[in-house]
Amino acid sequence: MSDRDFAQTLAKGLEVLACFEGGMPQLTLPEITRRSGLDRAVVRRLCLTLVRCGYLEEGEGGLRLAPRVLTLAGGFLGGLQVGRVVQPVLRHAAEELDMEVALATRDRLHAVYVDRAAPASARVTLGFGIGSALPLLHTAVGRMLLARSGPEVLDQALAARSPSPYTEATELDADRLRTAVETAREQGYAFARDEFELGAAGVAVPLGALGQVPFVLATTASVNAFDEPGRLERVLDVLRRSALAIGRLGAPR
């Protein structure tokens, strides 16, 4: 049955790996079986294979991801020149704004941090780092990514949006969400506050696309950081100049 050019076993194995996304520290065989919907025996054999290949390791009472997935991510980051060109620019912008600055892209229906920098003064961290996944609809990063993606992505995101709001300020109305994305496209930047995490606000600007998928540059801070008049303009200015710097040096595919 089905496609001659599609290796089912591989797809199922990747499905098993994907069960560990979203901050699951460790999973047991039955849990993976439930999450993936695969047969129990199949899951077991796939997990054994993944362990032998070094992608999973057995802890007490469960399996967890092995450092090997980091090496894979390192391949992605290295190919993008993240270490050499992106990181310095982000650091500089973070210091200049005294705010957290991140480079993000899209994976399916989530925004993903590709790299991140925080100013030296920051004593608290929000806990998001490389590989962290954020919702597309309710964050500045996400909306800017949607604004630069095809319309079908927005449709999918709206269709898949969770019915439970993150905070009391989370916008749930489809039309208003469409408008927010449209606004981001027209203005050339996105702004969001309180919708994903109360007390947090973000700004995002586009950076061009390194393939099919767009990249954006974003900053996050507590809401009151944007109260001061003219602050938003300054943030946008720094972000846009940083975006240019990265666009010029990096992405030399």
Partner DNA sequence: GCAAATGGTGCGATTATCGCACACAATGGG
Partner DNA sequence: CCCATTGTGTGCGATAATCGCACCATTTGC
Give the binding-site size for its own copies (rule: CB under 8 A): 85
| Minimum CB distance to its own copies smaller for 10 or for 198 | 10
Residue numbers 46-105 binding its own copies by CB under 8 A:
46, 48-50, 52-55, 57, 59-60, 64-80, 82-84, 87-88, 91, 95, 105
Residue 179 near DNA by CB under 7 A: no
Report, in Å, the least distance between residue 80 CB and its own copies. Answer: 8
Q: How far is the CB of 56 from DNA (least distance, A)?
A: 13
Residue written as token pair 């620019």: 89
Task: Decide if residue 59 touches DNA (CB under 7 A).
Answer: no
Strands 110-117 and 200-209: unpaired
From first CA to last CA, the distance across the chain in angstroms is 38
Question: Six-digit token pair at 32?
Answer: 């993976």
Residue 75 interacting partner from DNA, its own copies, none (CB closer than 5 to 8 Å by kind): its own copies
Q: Residues 14, 40, 75, 209: which binds DNA (CB under 7 A)?
A: 40
Distance CA 72, CA 252 (A): 20
Quote the CA–CA distance of 87 and 61 in Å, as a whole number.
Answer: 38
Shortest approach of DNA to residue 252 CB, angstroms?
20
Chain centroid, CA 203 distance in Å: 15
**DSSP per position, 39-56:** -HHHHHHHHHHHHHTTSE
What residues line the site for DNA (CB under 7 A)? Answer: 1-2, 4-10, 12, 28-31, 38-42, 44-46, 61
